[in-house]
Amino acid sequence: MMQLMVGPVLALAIGAGCRLLDIPLPAPPKLQGALLVVAMTVGYLLGDHFLG
C-alpha cells in the first residue's frame, strides 16, 4: 500500500526533474502518448483475460 503511494509521487518528481533539468523523459512527453501506453497495457491485459 505504501509503495502504491510512493510510486506516483516519485514518478511525478522524475517527470518534473526531467523537464527542469532539460534531460530526456523515459515516457512520452505528451499526455496522449502516455494514454496510448495505457491502452496497450489494457489491450494486453484483455488478451491475457480472454486467452488465459
Partner 1 sequence: MSWKFCVGLLLGLAIGLGCRWLGIPVPAPPVLVGASLVVAMTSGYLLADHFIATRPAHHRHDCGGPSGDTKETRT
Footprint on this chain of partner 1 (rule: CB under 8 A): 4, 7-8, 11-20, 25-48, 51
First CA to last CA distance, the chain: 27
The nearest distance, CB 2 to partner 1, in angstroms, is 14
Query: How far is Cα 47 from Cα 52, in angstroms, rounded to an integer?
Result: 8
The nearest distance, CB 36 to partner 1, in angstroms, is 4
**DSSP summary character for residue 45:** H
Which residue, 20, 41, 19, 21, is CA-closest to 30? Answer: 19
Q: Which residue lies nearer to partner 1 by CB, 2 or 51?
A: 51
The nearest distance, CB 9 to partner 1, in angstroms, is 8
